[in-house]
Structures are given as structure tokens and as C-alpha cells.
């Protein structure tokens, strides 16, 4: 699972970078850089601000990948014992994998919203919901594994 989510994450980052490189000359010189909750642009900046998205993708991916490598530092909300350790770790690895992919997609959607006016904002809210739901379900599963 970890290998698959890392590969998916890296491919998504590379696809987004390729999209930026290929389309760079066709993007307007000034783009929206912030949107209100309704999805209406309320701040503008140079197209170089698009470089923040891949930097955020790479930085957050690396941070989660490094933290994922050291389970001893995780603050797991239940006692991990020999009987439940495998299930708890599997749940945590799945959570990390989903979070990596969701965060990368949020950054990509933010870039698309800046480039294409009228790009819907609902995917951003959907991915934030996925992140929150993933965390809640993971914590519930971990507490359930505590009883095993």
C-alpha cells in the first residue's frame, strides 16, 4: 500500500509539473491567487505564484513520507500492543497514503482554479472532506483495533 500511494503521489506531482511546463507560455501573466468561500477570486498576482503549488506538493509529500517511515514517533490515539500492532499500523499507513494523494490533489485544484476562471471550487471542498473523513475513520478503526 505504501509503495502504491507513493508512486501515485509522485506521478500526480510530475503530471502537474508537466502541465505547468507545457502550458506556461499560454497562461495569463496575472492570475487569481486567492478565492473566497464562494469560489470568487479576491486577490491577484503574477503567474510565477503557480510555482507555490508544486513546491507545496513536494514539501508535504516528503514530510508525510518521512513521518510515515518512523511509526515510533506517531501519536496513536490508542495503546498499541502486540495483538493489535499490525492492524493499527496498516490503518495508519492507509491514512498516510490517502492524505498524501488528497493533499496533492488539493494543490493541483488550487492551481487549476487560478489558471482557469470559472473552474469549480467543489473539488477542493470534496478533497478537504476526504481528508477529514479519512482521519475520523482511521481514529475509529484504531480504537476498534484496541479491543482486539
Q: Cβ-count burial of 93 within 10 angstroms (0-12 exposed, 13-18 middle, 19+ buried)?
A: middle
Residue 99 C-alpha cell reads as 492524505
Average pLDDT in the 34-45 region? 82
Position 148 confidence tier, pLDDT thresholds 50, 70, 90: very low
Residue 145: pLDDT band (50, 70, 90) is: low
Give the cell for residue 36: 473566497
How many separate domains does the chain show? 1
Phi, psi of 81 (to 5 degrees): -120, 170
Indicate the angle between helix axes 52-69 and 85-115, nearest 10 degrees: 180
Spacing of C-alpha 91 from chain mean position: 17
Backbone torsion region of residue 118, taken as left when φ is above 0, otherwise alpha when ψ lies between -120 and 50, otherwise beta: left
Partners of 32 in the β-ladder:
44
Q: Are 33 and 44 in contact (CB under 8 A)?
A: yes
- Contact criterion met (CB below 8 Å) for 50 and 20: yes
Q: Taking CA 82 as the corner, what is the angle to CA 81 and CA 83, rounded to the nearest 5 degrees?
A: 90
Least-confidence region, from 74-78, 91-95, 99-103, 105-109: 74-78
Helix (H) or strand (E) holding 44, with range, is: strand 41-46
Domain that holds residue 43: 2-23+30-146
pLDDT above 90 coverage of the chain, percent: 45
Closest CA to 111 of 5, 42, 27: 27
Between 72 and 119, name the one with better pLDDT.
72
- 27 pLDDT band (50/70/90 cuts)? very high
Judged against a pLDDT cut of 90, whether residue 144 lies above it is answered with: no
pTM above 0.85, yes or no: no
Residue 125 contacts residue 102 (beta carbons within 8 Å):
no
Amino acid at each position: 500500500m505504501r509503495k502504491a500511494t507513493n508512486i501515485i503521489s509522485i506521478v500526480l506531482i510530475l503530471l502537474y509539473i508537466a502541465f505547468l511546463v507545457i502550458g506556461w507560455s499560454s497562461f495569463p501573466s496575472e492570475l487569481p491567487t486567492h478565492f473566497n468561500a464562494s469560489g470568487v477570486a479576491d486577490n491577484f498576482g503574477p503567474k510565477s505564484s503557480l510555482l507555490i503549488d508544486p513546491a507545496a506538493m513536494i514539501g508535504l509529500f516528503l514530510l508525510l513520507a518521512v513521518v510515515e517511515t518512523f511509526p515510533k514517533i506517531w501519536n496513536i490515539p490508542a495503546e498499541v500492543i502486540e495483538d493489535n500492532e499490525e492492524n493499527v499500523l496498516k490503518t495508519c499507513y492507509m491514512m498516510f497514503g490517502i492524505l498524501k494523494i488528497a493533499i496533492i490533489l488539493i494543490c493541483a485544484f488550487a492551481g487549476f482554479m487560478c489558471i482557469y476562471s470559472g473552474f469549480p471550487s467543489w473539488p477542493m471542498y470534496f478533497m478537504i472532506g476526504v481528508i477529514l473523513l479519512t482521519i475520523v475513520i482511521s481514529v475509529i478503526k484504531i480504537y476498534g483495533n484496541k479491543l482486539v
